């Protein structure tokens, strides 16, 4: 009911609808405007479907989220942030929001459909990727994170292979902002335990409060995983407590085959003290690391670099 919507905080309906420049010029969409094709994925608050918009016959990814579920986990702010990120986003390596609408019970995001598959499937098929591929994927992810952390003041908090989609031409698109949060003034800290265990930064586990430097930690985990095929603090039985213990101990094993540059880069990102992480004083220190000496950052941003994928 309407009453229920009000109590569920979709007063944030105001934020969710009026700030949307896309919608102001067109009539409100509903689920009836789309043909459901198949399910693409499943997130914490709902599912993603491949859909066809009836009037233009174009294919999109429709993310449907349950309002009550979002509200019950006190993450309604996150839905607003997700919308805000997607709406403001004009970044080549972040999924674009095309439309959004809601029903009594659900929020819907209509996203551009990314047709090159999921990066984690490529990673799963291998025991680690060749260095030029890792450098390329990591570099595109770095530009996306820099944009979120520094331009939009958003902490992403959920970097992992499952959230990296690939375009047909093999470029990276970061998706799923369900766990993103706003960076506070003066880089003040957030305290919620969110993320995927193997990727959690130590300050999140210790509940010491965290800020954008958690994205630098997870970048280190991602690069390690792309090189070796495994995360550094994985545990065979997937025991959550054991994984957390290994993260806090922070003694990753670098295989002898790993290049010196890669080891040095990962080691600088996997610093327990967030302030000491490479990138804590800006992303230039990451971009200038010798591991990325072959990357032309401007060309990469302009998508002039051919994907090795
Ligand atoms: N899975 C999740 N989001 C997607 C998108 N935007 N395109 C294709 N597959 C997806």
Give tens-digit pLDDT for 170-199: 999 998 766 666 666 666 777 666 567 899
Report residue 117 as tokens: 């598959």
Distances (CA, A) of 44 to 81, 100, 156, 194, 207: 16, 19, 15, 11, 21
Residue % of the chain over a pLDDT of 90:
56
pLDDT at 21: 43
Indicate if ligand 1 lies below 6 Å from the C-beta of 101: no
Q: Work out the average pLDDT over 214-224.
A: 97
pLDDT category of residue 209 using cuts at 50, 70 and 90: confident
Indicate if ligand 1 lies below 6 Å from the C-beta of 51: no
CA 98–ligand 1 middle distance (angstroms) = 13
Mean pLDDT, all residues of the chain: 85
pLDDT at 195: 65
Q: Work out the average pLDDT over 80-87.
A: 67
| SS3 call for 97 | strand
Distances (CA, A) of 214 to 161, 201, 248, 258: 16, 6, 14, 24
Apex CA 165: angle with CA 161 and CA 171, to 5°? Answer: 110
Which residue owns the Cα nearest ligand 1 atom 6?
A: 113
Q: Whole-model pTM? A: 0.86
158 is catalytic: yes
CA 242 to chain centre: 25
Q: How many residues does the chain have?
A: 309
Q: Work out the average pLDDT over 51-78.
A: 85
Pocket test for ligand 1, best of 37, 39, 40, 176 (most atoms within 8 A of CB): 40
Indicate if ligand 1 lies below 6 Å from the C-beta of 114: yes
pLDDT at 3: 32
**Which tens digits make up the pLDDT trace of 6-40?**
223 333 333 333 344 444 445 789 999 999 999 99
CA 250–ligand 1 middle distance (angstroms) = 33
CA 296–ligand 1 middle distance (angstroms) = 28
């Amino acid at each position: 009911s309407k009453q229920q919507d009000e109590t569920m905080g979709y007063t944030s309906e105001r934020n969710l609808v009026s700030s949307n420049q896309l919608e102001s010029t067109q009539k409100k969409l509903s689920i009836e405007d789309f043909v459901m094709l198949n399910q693409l994925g499943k997130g914490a608050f709902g599912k993603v479907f491949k859909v066809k918009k009836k009037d233009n016959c174009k294919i999109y990814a429709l993310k449907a989220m349950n309002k009550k579920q979002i509200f019950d986990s006190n993450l309604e702010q996150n839905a607003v942030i997700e919308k805000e990120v997607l709406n403001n986003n004009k970044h080549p390596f972040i999924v674009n929001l095309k439309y959004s609408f809601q029903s009594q019970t659900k929020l819907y995001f209509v996203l551009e459909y990314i047709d090159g598959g999921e990066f984690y499937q490529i990673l799963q098929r291998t025991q680690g990727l060749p260095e030029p591929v890792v450098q390329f994927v990591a570099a595109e992810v770095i530009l996306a994170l820099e944009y979120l952390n520094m331009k939009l003041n958003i902490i992403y908090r959920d970097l992992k292979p499952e959230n990296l989609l690939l375009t047909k031409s093999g470029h990276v698109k970061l998706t799923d902002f369900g766990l993103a949060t706003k960076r506070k003034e003066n880089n003040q800290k957030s305290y919620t335990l969110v993320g995927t265990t193997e990727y959690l930064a130590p300050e999140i586990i210790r509940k010491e409060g965290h800020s954008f430097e958690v994205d630098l930690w997870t970048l280190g985990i991602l690069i390690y995983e792309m090189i070796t095929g495994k995360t550094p603090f994985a545990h065979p039985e997937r025991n959550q407590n054991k994984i957390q213990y290994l993260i806090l101990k922070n003694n990753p094993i670098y295989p002898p085959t790993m290049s010196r540059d890669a080891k040095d880069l990962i080691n600088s990102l996997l610093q327990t003290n967030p302030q000491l992480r490479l990138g804590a004083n800006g992303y230039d220190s990451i971009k200038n690391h010798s591991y990325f000496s072959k990357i032309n950052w401007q060309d990469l941003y302009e998508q002039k670099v051919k994907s090795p994928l």
